[in-house]
Amino acid sequence: MRNKRAAFFFTLSVIGFITAWYFNGIAVMKGQDYLSAWFATEVDWVLSLDLLIVAVAGVGFMIYEAKRLGMRRVWLYILLSGITAMAATFPFFLAMRELRLRSIELAGGKIDKYEFDGHRVDVWVPPNLDESTPVLVMHDGKNVFYPKFSTYGATWGLLEAMRPDHIGFTRIHAERKPLIIAVWGLGDGTRMMELGPEDIYSAHPEIIANLPDFLQPADPTPRSNAYQALLATKILPSIAAKYGVKLDPSRTAIGGSSMGGLASIYGMCKYPETYGTALSFSTHWPFGYETTIEKLTAMMPSPGLHRIWTDTGTLELDAEYPPFHAKAVSRLEELGYRFHHDLMHGVYANTGHNENWWASRVEHPINWWLSGLPSKP
């Protein structure tokens, strides 16, 4: 939308520039007197003063907005206004302002779009990209960047968390911002079968059979292993190669919420050579209850080189989670995962189960992950 508005203002600027120079050229060639034309009658005074007041307001707006948004060399716009016309420079400033606002909204980066095997993929590219840039793969990609596509009209707030606030504080404060690969699912009807741990629910069909009717998948075809393979062997290496990023599990994380939380842990279990960290918000351990907890934790790679974040709230659907969360944490600790070292877990009291809640703490797991990265070579 901001690009369209910028194009509109650029068009106005071109029109203003052409008309100003064309009619000024005619006036000069005919030797016309500007002062007598501007102030000959009361009507001329009204129009001239109107233009003067608008011009002063425009200059003031440019100075204020340039300072607020960090736009440099605003004096050039003011100088050009005297050489050409405000009708050209003010729309030009507004166009540049739209582009600056878009840059701020995107935390200085950009979002590129791709498609892989029916899955839309949105990629946020950080401003300072090099081969050692960390990479974060996110499930439920439609909920990551765009509120208009999100299931409940809210996003994870990742871009907001990477933007400095009015005093310069950035919630995701690591110097190296990650390349974020947000992968959309095929659709709501296949989500459970894509994100659920297929090796477990296929071996234990009662997990799906015992779900309430309103949670029964519209299409019960197992899809999780194909989905995880798509992420690890096609999407991730293709995107990394396009942007010149050298993949390393120590710099690569996979993350999601609810069923996406399970999918993140399952993905690391299936591809430990690809992902070094799983970031799971409101992990849906009640999917299969103790069976899933036992089977999935048994698949975990040995502690030391891999890291896990798992958490839960206490409201809405998360109200069911704490006892299962505690069992999963206990099992991980039995396997040798150590709190604060390669395991972080927590209960966020009085928080619930949607993107607004996850956005309110999105920096916690990401800062934990980024703070543990190896030093930049």
Q: Do 322 and 304 fall into the same domain?
A: yes
> Is 253 in a helix, a strand, or coil?
strand
Q: Residue 232 belongs to what domain range?
A: 110-371
Q: Do 255 and 275 fall into the same domain?
A: yes
Which of residues 62, 81, 105 is at a domain's end? 105
Mean of pLDDT over the chain? 91
Q: Which amino acid is at 330?
A: S
Q: What is the pLDDT of residues 273-302, one digit of tens each?
A: 999 999 999 999 999 999 999 999 999 999
Is 224's pLDDT higher than 90?
yes
Instruction: Report pLDDT for 95.
Output: 87
Instruction: Report pLDDT for 219.
Output: 85
Provide the whole-model pTM. Answer: 0.82
Give me the torsion for CA of 212, 218, 219, 222, rounded to 10°.
-30
CA distance 270 to 228: 8
Give percent of the chain above pLDDT 70.
98
Whether 247 maps to a domain, the answer reads yes
Whether 377 maps to a domain, the answer reads no
CATH of the domain at 337: 3.40.50.1820
Q: Which amino acid is at 187?
A: G
Mean pLDDT of 352-376: 93
Instruction: Report pLDDT for 35.
Output: 67
Whether 151 maps to a domain, the answer reads yes
pLDDT band at 89 (very low <50, low <70, confident <90, very high): confident
Whether 300 maps to a domain, the answer reads yes
Is 231's pLDDT higher than 90?
yes
pLDDT band at 169 (very low <50, low <70, confident <90, very high): confident
Q: Do 255 and 170 fall into the same domain?
A: yes
34-43, 140-149, 247-256, 312-321: which range is least confident on average? Answer: 34-43
Q: Do 99 and 137 fall into the same domain?
A: no
CB 186 within 8 A of CB 161: no
Q: Do 70 and 143 fall into the same domain?
A: no
Q: Do 81 and 146 fall into the same domain?
A: no
Nearest Cα to 351, choosing from 257, 269, 266? 257
Length of the chain: 377
pLDDT band at 240 (very low <50, low <70, confident <90, very high): very high
Q: Do 170 and 76 fall into the same domain?
A: no
CA distance 209 to 189: 16
9-13, 109-113, 189-193: which range is least confident on average? Answer: 9-13
Instruction: Report pLDDT for 377.
Output: 62
Instruction: Report pLDDT for 374.
Output: 80
Cβ neighbourhood burial of 5 (10 Å; 0-12, 13-18, 19+):
middle
Q: Do 123 and 53 fall into the same domain?
A: no
Whether 376 maps to a domain, the answer reads no
Whether 92 maps to a domain, the answer reads yes
Is 321's pLDDT higher than 80?
yes
**Count of structural domains, the chain:** 2
CB atoms within 10 A of CB 12: 17
Q: Do 118 and 221 fall into the same domain?
A: yes
134-138, 318-322, 373-377: which range is least confident on average? Answer: 373-377
Q: Which DSSP string do the residues of 90-159 spell out, in sequence order?
A: HHHHHHHHHHHHHHHHTTT-EEEEEEETTEEEEEEEPSS--TT--EEEESSGGGTS-TTTSTTS----HH
CB atoms within 10 A of CB 327: 16
Q: Do 227 and 336 fall into the same domain?
A: yes
Mean pLDDT of 220-229: 95
Instruction: Report pLDDT for 303.
Output: 92
CA distance 103 to 36: 46
